[in-house]
């Protein structure tokens, strides 16, 4: 069967400098195993599959796969999937806002000229990190406790642990070892592109630890943590990706109801089809 296929560059501050995403439209009928096999074949950090929604409030449903597993939610796949669906002629039920159905429920995505933004879903786990677990995380990053200003669970589905470090220099000094959980590391300051802070995101996958170029789910949960603890005030933007040769820009805002929105670019790079 021929299915519409897109590759989208998400959060790039310049062409081809964001996080790539593969999107398969018209994916109804594919099994979980077939989706996982295709996601492993693309070798992207995530591949999404667009399906007919079950919830009448949703415009479409999406399933999100890494090369090894399925995720209930991820940020750059949320924006990239919405861009592909719109580019293929999708028309949202509510003008100016797409509603996605995924593993964490319904996620709103709004259009703002050429950019998209999603409403950060609530954290499923927050609060302090067990000291023994934190010691293991620091060992896995080559950091010491005196470099850490705060640590907390910032899990909105993928299992993120958040670390606030003392400087951009500490952020740059990370040396990867073994990690059992996805970890986001943030350094406050205006050293890079006048950003409020800079982010690095790491996750274990297939027996190794990888660094993600630009991570929407992590930036959503970090913003909830840092805004909620009064360390930063929205609107602002964060940067991520320079340590892996990318230039990502993530825009954070808060609406009148207090919801945090995570936005950025989502650009079609490849528009075609697959025979599968």
Residues of the chain predicted below pLDDT 50: none
Superfamily of domain 125-258: Diaminopimelate Epimerase; Chain A, domain 1 (3.10.310.10)
Name the average pLDDT for the chain.
95
Ramachandran assignment for 25, one of left (phi > 0), alpha (psi -120 to 50 degrees), beta (any other): beta
Give the active site residues: 46
**Which pLDDT belongs to residue 192?**
57
CATH 3.40.80.10 at 2-120+262-275, yes or no: no
**Which pLDDT belongs to residue 195?**
81
Residue owning tokens 């650009």: 267
Per-residue pLDDT tens over the stretch 200-211: 999 998 889 999
Domain ranges of the chain: 2-120+262-275, 125-258
**Which pLDDT belongs to residue 266?**
98
CB 174 within 8 A of CB 143: yes
**Which pLDDT belongs to residue 207?**
87
């Amino acid at each position: 069967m021929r299915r519409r296929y897109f590759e989208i560059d998400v959060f790039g501050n310049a062409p081809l400098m964001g996080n790539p995403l593969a999107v398969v439209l018209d994916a109804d009928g594919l099994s979980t195993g077939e989706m996982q096999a295709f996601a492993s074949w693309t070798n992207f950090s995530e591949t999404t599959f667009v399906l007919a929604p079950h919830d009448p409030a949703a415009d479409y449903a999406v399933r999100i796969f890494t090369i090894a597993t399925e995720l209930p939610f991820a940020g750059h796949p949320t924006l990239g999937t919405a861009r592909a669906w719109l580019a293929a002629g999708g028309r949202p039920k509510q003008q100016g806002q797409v509603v996605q159905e995924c593993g964490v429920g319904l996620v709103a995505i709004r259009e703002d000229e050429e950019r998209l933004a999603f409403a950060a879903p609530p954290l499923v786990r927050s609060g302090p990190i067990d000291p023994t677990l934190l010691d293991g995380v620091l060992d896995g990053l080559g950091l010491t406790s005196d470099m850490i200003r705060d640590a907390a669970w910032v899990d909105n589905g993928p299992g993120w642990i958040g670390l606030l470090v003392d400087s951009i220099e500490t952020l740059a000094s990370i040396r990867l070892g073994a990690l059992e959980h996805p970890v986001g590391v943030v350094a406050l300051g205006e050293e890079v592109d006048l950003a409020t802070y800079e982010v690095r995101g790491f996750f274990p996958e297939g027996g190794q630890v990888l660094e993600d170029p630009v991570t929407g789910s992590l930036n959503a949960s970090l913003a909830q943590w840092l805004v909620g603890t009064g360390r930063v005030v929205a609107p602002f933007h964060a940067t991520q990706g320079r340590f892996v040769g990318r230039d990502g820009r993530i825009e954070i805002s808060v609406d009148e109801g207090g919801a945090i929105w995570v936005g950025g670019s989502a650009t079609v790079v490849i528009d075609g089809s697959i025979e599968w």
